[in-house]
Amino acid sequence: MGNALQVMTSGESHGPGLTAIVQGLPAGMPVDIGCIDDQLKRRQGGYGRGARQQLESDRVQIISGVRLGRTLGSPVTLQVVNKDFANWGDRMSVAGVAVPPAPIVEARPGHADFAGMLKYGTGDLRDILERSSARNTAALVAAGGLCRQFLRHLGIEVLSHVVVLGGVRAGRPQAADFGRVIAAAEASPVRCADPVASVRMVAAIDAAAERGDTLGGVFEVIATGCPPGLGSHIQWDTRLDSRLAAAIMGIQAIKGVEIGMGFGVAEIAGSQVHDELFHDGGSGYSRSTNHAGGVEGGMTNGEPVVVRGAMKPISTMKSPLRSVNMATLEASVAHFERSDVCAVPAAGVIGEAMVCIVLAEACLAKFGGDGMQECLRNFEGYVADIAGRGYVC
């Protein structure tokens, strides 16, 4: 995609705050801070979240790149303050302290602790867990909230819902009525559009909490309104499916990604996999199925983009697993730090943010423009061009 859009984050889970820098957005784009705050609030929600969500009330502060409600074309700096830092000043002090805190040495299986301590040569796994913590996704959600506002100017909407949680599988919607599906998901405590499955998922979380265990699941992100041609078939790293897979896999605890039918394509014949193409003079091109998940040959094909992420159960548990004291090499149990029982509903919101970032990157690579008006002219010109070739947006 080149360097049309760049997103970088920084910060630690219990540090002063989390920061995202978004570079490459065109000048003159209206920015609604409330919309970003709404996404941050969604990330904190969902049944099964832990005590940290009661301590924080995430809101974004824009430090640079926006004036009078519009982007300047310069890097936009977004900051989310960690209120809980007030309770961690001794352990997370930037300056040296007279009496350093006792190191944590009991690595948690499934977390970044073990490999990180060896890689970075530290004797305290807090040096690793603070940055590897999923708390840091708040900065990504803030960046994604900004990119979401850019995409809406092009008619692209991004949404998500939970399809599997703790082994409970939701029924698949019979029709692509995304508005109904998402309305039902947002009304569910676990963001599941199937009301029967939603009740069972809540019960599964309660049971896991009683056992001191954690649960994972699968969320699905859907992007509607994408014109054909975002991404490229030219290089492996410009393929949109490559970028989407990397973005979703980059979320903490994600262990699998599917686009469209995903691994299901390996189980049936090609005649049942590929989405047949039709054309009507009035409505343009159409498909009877969307097994490709809106991406063919590394490019959007005009159908909704559908991406799923499989999240493993959280690795910090009240009933800790066996581990090793990495200072003495003796048998131990894993360190416990307050944690969620399940964060799959929140992971779907983070997945939305990552898809927003990737699609904004792809749109800017395709349509460019230093200012918003120029970008929209380029977009409208492209839409007019493909309309002349039989495609109706």
pLDDT digits (tens, 9 = 90+) for 21-49: 999 999 999 999 999 999 999 999 999 88
SS (H, E, C) 62-79: EEECEECCEECCCCEEEE
Q: Alpha helices of 168-213 — where are they, by DSSP H?
A: 178-187, 195-211
Name the DSSP class of 234: S
Residue 1 belongs to a domain = no
Tokens 């069972």 belong to residue: 200
**2: buried, middle or exposed (CB in 10 Å: 19+, 13-18, 0-12)?**
exposed
pLDDT at 174: 59
Give domain status of residue 303, yes or no. yes
Helix/strand/coil for 223: strand
pLDDT of residue 1: 41
- Is the distance from CB of 117 to CB of 326 less than 8 angstroms? yes
Nearest CA-CA partner of 352 in 393, 312, 310, 306:
306
pLDDT at residue 149, as a whole number? 98
Each residue of 294-332: pLDDT tens digit?
Answer: 999 999 999 999 999 999 999 888 888 899 999 999 999
> Residue 115: which domain range?
6-387
Sign of CA dihedral 7, 382, 286, 266: negative
Do strands 284-287 and 60-64 pair parallel, antiparallel, or not at all (unpaired)?
unpaired
- Please indicate, yes or no, if residue 328 is contained in any of the structural domains: yes
pTM as predicted: 0.95
* Domain assignment of residue 231, yes or no: yes
CATH number at 189 reads: 3.60.150.10
Q: What is the pLDDT of residue 176?
A: 63
Which of 297, 309, 378 is CA-nearest to residue 348? 309
Instruction: Give the pLDDT band (50/70/90) at residue 123.
Output: very high
Q: Cα(359)–Cα(300) distance, rounded to whole angstroms?
A: 10
Residue 61, pLDDT score: 97
pLDDT at residue 175 above 80?
no
321, part of any domain: yes
Q: For 372-384, what is each residue's pLDDT tens digit?
A: 999 999 999 999 9
Number of separate domains in the chain:
1
In a domain, 191, yes or no: yes
